[in-house]
């Protein structure tokens, strides 16, 4: 609607508000694990978790929506990157620059970005 029509902003906002309550958006949120992750049997836990959040962001879902805020709070409280990557919280990123870019973008969208991943992004070594 935003990119292909001349729909008013209020109509676009009304459609986005449906994302966490209906269809695929509601199903995605319902499939979140108690530790805040999303899982697939054929993938490391971080992969579907990262891409699920990227998908939710791409829908334009309102981060302040109660169901979304609750999902992000579960993720913050329970998810940790693998021990080999520092066991940091999700929005703190890990060691791979591409992954940290995703964590930073998601942190900016869903919450205040983690200061540590921001510091790595701004370091001369360009740890992002």
Provide, rounded to the nearest whole percent, the portion of the chain with pLDDT above 70: 94
Cβ-contact 95, 81 below 8 angstroms: no
pLDDT above 60 for 128: no
Per residue in 40-56, pLDDT (tens digit) is 999 999 999 999 999 99
In this prediction, residue 124 carries a pLDDT of 61
Is the pTM higher than 0.85? The answer reads no
Rounded CA separation 68/57 (Å) = 10
Per residue in 29-41, pLDDT (tens digit) is 999 999 999 999 9
Per residue in 82-97, pLDDT (tens digit) is 888 889 899 988 888 8
Tokens 């919280």 belong to which residue?
89
| Domain boundaries, given as residue ranges, for the chain | 9-122
pLDDT above 90 for 126: no
Rounded CA separation 93/80 (Å) = 9
Per the prediction, the chain carries an average pLDDT of: 88
What's the Cα-to-Cα distance from 94 to each of 60, 61, 72, 110, 118, rounded to whole Å?
25, 25, 18, 18, 12
Q: What distance lies between CA 50 and its chain's CA centroid?
A: 6
């Amino acid at each position: 609607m935003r990119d292909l029509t001349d729909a008013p902003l209020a109509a676009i906002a009304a459609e986005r508000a449906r994302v966490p309550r209906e269809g695929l958006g509601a199903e995605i949120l319902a499939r979140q694990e108690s530790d805040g992750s999303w899982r697939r049997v054929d993938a490391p836990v971080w992969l579907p978790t990262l891409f699920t959040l990227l998908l939710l962001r791409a829908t334009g879902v309102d981060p302040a929506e109660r169901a979304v805020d609750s999902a992000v709070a579960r993720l913050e409280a329970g998810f940790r990157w693998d021990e080999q990557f520092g066991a940091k919280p999700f929005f703190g990123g890990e060691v791979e620059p591409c992954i940290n870019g995703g964590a930073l973008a998601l942190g900016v969208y869903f919450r205040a970005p983690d200061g540590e991943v921001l510091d790595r992004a701004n370091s001369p070594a360009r740890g992002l």
